[in-house]
Amino acid sequence: MLAVGIDVGSLSAEAVVIEDGKMAAYSILPTGADSRQAAKKAFTRALERAGRSPDEVTFTVATGYGRVSVPFADLQVTEITCHARGAFHLNPDTRTVIDIGGQDSKVIRLDGGGTVIDFVMNDKCAAGTGRFLEVMARALETEVEALSDLAAGASKAASISSLCTVFAESEVVSLIGQGVLRKEIARGLLESVAERTAVLVSRVGLEPEVIMTGGVAKNAGVVRALSARLGVPIRVPQEPQIVGALGAALIAWTRAVKKSPQKTRGASPQR
């Protein structure tokens, strides 16, 4: 029995396939201009990697801002619920989930059973998100992936005071013109992301253990800066981008078991 979770974000679309209670495959693709097409491609790619076909899927759950663009999904679930489910599945000790995606960020508090007890979400401004880092990397004439290494070589951080991505970009250009070292600017940018995220965390309350999901979790510099600011270790999954899709797939698996109760093998998803 197969279940699939699809997470359609602003920058990427992810799909996770669960077969007999275990994750069989996943895919990560750019969203591009067509969310619906991206969701279908991610779905197809993940199934191909699992060696399966779409007609074998029992249940599909879509999440993310583009979940309404997945017409073949059996159910749409909010990303808050899916990230919580995925993070708790990966580590049942998780109490705080920090997710920084392409254009939004969110902090979720869980109880001991993995139920969401509070959350806060910033989806009104791209500051502190993956898009913010993309714009800043371009201003520094480097790649997003290089920001962490660049910042690691700085003995101090340049002050980035602007909260708006557009104004922050102008501030970076101005700092470059003043002769401020690029590595110091990079460190300032990463610490700026950490500061904005820490403010969100303070609104729901910090409780270890903390897990970080989303594409920005791949930036070790942001994770280090945020961990230092919060004063606690931050766990990062092996593939942080698929946690939302994993949560959606787990929900889909539960629905699939209920839909086909006679297929009980692997009824409890395995970590």
- Angstrom distance (rounded) from CA 144 to CA 133: 6
| Torsional sign, CA 31, 33, 35, 39 | negative
pLDDT over threshold 80, residue 266: no
- 254 burial (CB, 10 Å; 0-12 / 13-18 / 19+) is middle
What is the average pLDDT across 230-252?
Answer: 97
Residue 209 identity: E
Measure the CA angle with vertex 60, ends 56 and 63; round to 5°: 155
Is the pTM value of this prediction over 0.95? no
pLDDT at 185 exceeding the cut of 50: yes
pLDDT at 267 over 70: no
Question: Of all residues in the chain, what percent carry a pLDDT higher than 70?
Answer: 94
Model confidence at 268, pLDDT cuts 50, 70, 90, reads low
Angle at 79 between CA 78 and CA 82, to 5 degrees: 95
CA distances from residue 207 to 90, 121, 161, 215 in whole angstroms, order as listed:
17, 17, 28, 22
Take residue 202 and report the two structure tokens written for it: 């303070």
| Higher per-residue pLDDT: 266 or 111 | 111
Burial class (CB in 10 A: 0-12, 13-18, 19+), 236: middle
Single-letter amino acid code for the residue at 242: I
Read off the pLDDT of each residue in 136-164 and give the average, rounded to a whole number: 89
Residue 244 has pLDDT above 80, yes or no: yes
d(CA 271, CA 265): 15
Residue with tokens 């779409």: 54
Q: Higher confidence at residue 94 or residue 130?
A: 94
Residue 197 has pLDDT above 90, yes or no: yes
